[in-house]
Amino acid sequence: MTGRFEGRTVIVTGASRGIGLGIAQRVVDEGGKAVITARKEEELVAAVKELGEGNAVYSVGKADDAAHQEATVKLAVDTFGSADFLVNNAAVNPHFGDLTTIGLDAARKMLDVNVTAPLFWAQAAYQGWMKEHGGGVVNIASVAGLRPPPMIGWYGVSKRALIGLTEQLAMELGPGIRVNAVAPAVVKTKFASALYEGKEEEVSAVYPLKRLGVPADIASVVTFLLSDDSSWMTGQTLTVDGGVMLAGQL
């Protein structure tokens, strides 16, 4: 691996496993340090061991907790000397069904975690480091935010809002801070398991590349957007979907 992230630190939310952990691993593999967050300490402890002692630390808390956000940025600066990058990966989807059946609490929770929390993580990173030093933000959106999806419509609405937030932050935080997003299709993680478990062959058949994604597929694109290799890109949402949008499918 290259040393693209030597001397730089990334904060990744929702990173005890899956896409978030894959992103942290790629940054560490390329010379950087990682601060990972999630709700369950035992999973974070295991993830830090996987990343390698000295390469990462963890912060336990809920993604939409303001005190947790500020404390995590401070932890990054105190431990590794910077908070150069933020990846808003944490998300929830407590409802599977039509919009006519979603409850108020579930709808509000999705907006709190999937949209409002990324805004305030960006604020915390801005105030705690990036305002003076610059940096980069990548938000993990979804192809569900690009086209209305079946059965996860409100999740799609929240991801469409996250794409809008990405564009607004890019306008306001340039030139020192670049803000981009990635919109994956189905990636083989615990979070997305309801979409493919027991039917993976059937689901992947509509993808031109004939397979579902894995966390490394997303991590490679996220680290490209964080790195100087994308230094003239901001406000963009890159679709990483195995070609499924070309097939008119979600």
CB 216 within 8 A of CB 222: no
Confidence of residue 202 (pLDDT cuts 50, 70, 90): confident
User: Angle CA(8)–CA(113)–CA(135) in degrees, nearest 5?
Assistant: 20
Catalytic site includes residue 155: yes
Three-state DSSP class for residue 48: helix
pLDDT at site 53: 86
The answer to the question of residue 182 being in a domain is yes
Looking at the structure of the chain, the number of domains it has is 1
- pLDDT exceeds 70 at position 221: yes
Mean pLDDT of the chain: 95
The answer to the question of residue 4 being in a domain is no
Q: Over the stretch 3-31, which tens digit does the pLDDT of each residue have? A: 999 999 999 999 999 999 999 999 999 99
Confidence of residue 90 (pLDDT cuts 50, 70, 90): very high
The answer to the question of residue 3 being in a domain is no
The answer to the question of residue 43 being in a domain is yes
Mean per-residue pLDDT, 135-142 = 98
Confidence of residue 241 (pLDDT cuts 50, 70, 90): very high
CATH classification of the domain holding 229: 3.40.50.720
pLDDT at site 1: 54
Which two structure tokens, joined as six digits, stand for 138? 């990548």
Structural domain of 138: 9-240
The answer to the question of residue 216 being in a domain is yes
The answer to the question of residue 198 being in a domain is yes
The answer to the question of residue 213 being in a domain is yes
CB 72 within 8 A of CB 79: no
Catalytic residue among 58, 126, 155, 207: 155
